[in-house]
Structure 1
Amino acid sequence: MDSFAAAFKQSQRVVDDAFDVSASANAHLYFCFGAHRLRLGVLDTERNKFVALEDYESSRPVSVDGAISYLESLTATSPILQQKAWKAVRIAIKSQQFTLLPATLFDVNAREEYLQLNAELDTSTEIVHDYAHPRLELINVFTVPTKLQAWAEGHFQTSELEFVHQTSSLMEGFLHVAERNTRPQLYVYVDKNYVTLVVLHESRLEFCNSFYFSSQEDFIYYILFVLQEKKMNPDQDNIYVWGELLVHSELFDVLRKYIRHVQFGKKPTGVGYSYRFDALFEHRNFDMYSLHFCE
């Protein structure tokens, strides 16, 4: 195992009293994979309700191979991963290896060429995938680590398996919660050292990108840059925020310093949640919950 994989620790676990993990054949497993974080969520399809969540975070930088090694070790300890037969398994990949294309221009045989315009592609360690967004009329082209795909296909042999990019999950989730508005709306998802910014205007995508930041200055710069580019007003327009951001944090303070109307988002509606999820912050885990809408 990569020595960095030891940095992972379970940070959260919630389980509904009535959840029977052995009934996985009637449940969906939603899984967010990133080099610094692994998150598992279970949706009971008969009740259309989230019934379990396991969250694992690293305390220091970890390689993708290290995260995969830790994931493999979890199959011995995680009750969720010990189950291999699910009705469906959907895995979201957190990375900057993605590009968006109009559906009318997409050619599946040119996926690698599309991706190489925005990312450095290593076909020896990555496999190219695509995911269609019919309502947005676009295709998300992205990569999946070869080792992760091999593990998933081997572990969930009898389950329907699908990979999507984290931005696809977020876009579908934001579409689900968006209210029709004559003004563009900026949706912000904050992760560890990454911020994903999505602008929707009347159910049309006007912007989507994920940025790495190492300081408060970088963080607010990207947000103000997108506001300026989309001709939005930081003193008038509402900004909605999800993800790993706390009210009493330096990042939230800098947001409030430059943007007047900042609101924390909530869990998406249209799906239920065990009362055990009431103990979690409403604005966290949005990317995982929104995998439910990536049909």
Structure 2
Amino acid sequence: MDSLAAAYKQSQRVVDDAFDVSASAHAHLYFCFGAHRLRLGVLDTERNKFVALEDYESNRPVSVDGAIQYLRSLTEHSPILQQRQWQTVRIAIKSQQFTLIPETLFEVNAREEYLQLNAELDLATELVHQYAHPRLELINVFTVPTKLQAWAEGHFETTEVEFVHQTSSLMEGFLHMAERNPRPQLYVYVDKNYVTLVVLQDTRLEFCNSFYFTSQEDFIYYILFVLQEKKMNPDQDHVFVWGELMVHSELFDVLRKYIRHVQLGKKPTGVGYSYRFDALFEHRNFDMYSLHFCE
């Protein structure tokens, strides 16, 4: 456990001066879970405002089981996780274990078959879940690690725990931010070695997928490929970017090299943020903030 704890560091922590963690029964806990990153956000329901955020990031590869093990130990140190009663606990799963099914074709008893078309399903270690997107008229079918669900339901025993996939959070967030446009719009979310690409046209989903990359060439290839497939023009169409990249990073440089109009995204509107969040980059934590729109 010592070596596992050493793999993680707290990369961000912001807390509103007026935040009282003991009042968690009147707050939502939003939680993004991935093997390399654990992020917690608290929204005060009475003020409709984000009031706290804790971010833990691994500096080396960690397995899903290792991340869950670290999460258990984190309950001894995180004031947020020490609270077990919340109005809502909503957890986003970061993985490539998901598939999108049109609402009219979806059958709940076929969820495993849907997933097996796009992912390797291990029912010994994973549980199948679904999340409905009424405005997009589709169902996101995804998996949750069995050990994570067992921990969450045991730890937050008086609160129902909701699970969604990270792509659902992003799609709902992008849909919330999008302006009606007859032209397709490409939204990019960059994570560590993963890039999620979502194309919306008006309120229709035209594309959504998450790609693993290990080089700048892979990264820009996927983006240019989607632009080409959706008949978008890298010299004319705007591309909106959120996530874990910086303006002076190599990834941002390669974006600007091949795409003329690259725009860093903002925090979602329709919800407030403590002034303490002003110290954070606007384009980061979008997946966590957007869990608020996954009603």
Q: Same fold per TM (> 0.5)? A: yes
Aligned residue runs from structure 1 range 120-269, under 5 A: 120-269=120-269
TM value normalised by structure 2: 0.99
> Structure 1: which 5+ residue stretches go unaligned?
none
Are the aligned partners of 1:2 and 1:69 in contact in 2 as well (CA < 8 Å)?
no
TM value normalised by structure 1: 0.99
Matches of 1:47 and 1:26, distance apart in 2: 10
Are the aligned partners of 1:234 and 1:259 in contact in 2 as well (CA < 8 Å)?
yes
- CA drift of 1:3 comes to 4.2
Partner of 2:17: 17
Are the aligned partners of 2:136 and 2:203 in contact in 1 as well (CA < 8 Å)?
yes
Deviations 1:125-175 (A, max 9, x none): 000000000000000000000000000000001112100000000000000
- CA drift of 1:6 comes to 2.8
SS in 2 for 1:129: strand
SS in 1 for 2:224: helix
| Number of aligned residues | 295
Select between 150-159 and 5-14 the one with higher mean Cα deviation. 5-14
Deviations 1:253-292 (A, max 9, x none): 0000000000000000000000000000000000000000
Are the aligned partners of 1:5 and 1:67 in contact in 2 as well (CA < 8 Å)?
no
Partner of 2:62: 62
Q: Which runs of 4+ in 1 moved over 6 A?
A: none
Matches of 2:169 and 2:214, distance apart in 1: 24
What residue identity is the alignment partner of 2:150?
A
Matches of 1:36 and 1:194, distance apart in 2: 11
Matches of 2:183 and 2:160, distance apart in 1: 39
Deviations 1:31-55 (A, max 9, x none): 0000000000000000000000000
Query: For the structure 1 residues 253 and 85, does the alpha-carbon distance in structure 2 shift closer, same or farther, using more than 3 Å as the test?
Result: same
Query: For the structure 1 residues 288 and 30, does the alpha-carbon distance in structure 2 shift closer, same or farther, using more than 3 Å as the test?
Result: same
SS in 1 for 2:55: strand
- CA drift of 1:232 comes to 0.1
Partner of 2:82: 82
Matches of 2:64 and 2:108, distance apart in 1: 26
- CA drift of 1:107 comes to 0.6
Query: For the structure 1 residues 2 and 201, does the alpha-carbon distance in structure 2 shift closer, same or farther, using more than 3 Å as the test?
Result: farther
SS in 2 for 1:76: coil
Are the aligned partners of 2:41 and 2:52 in contact in 1 as well (CA < 8 Å)?
yes
What residue identity is the alignment partner of 1:127?
L
- CA drift of 1:251 comes to 0.3
Percent of paired sites with the same residue: 89
Are the aligned partners of 2:153 and 2:160 in contact in 1 as well (CA < 8 Å)?
no
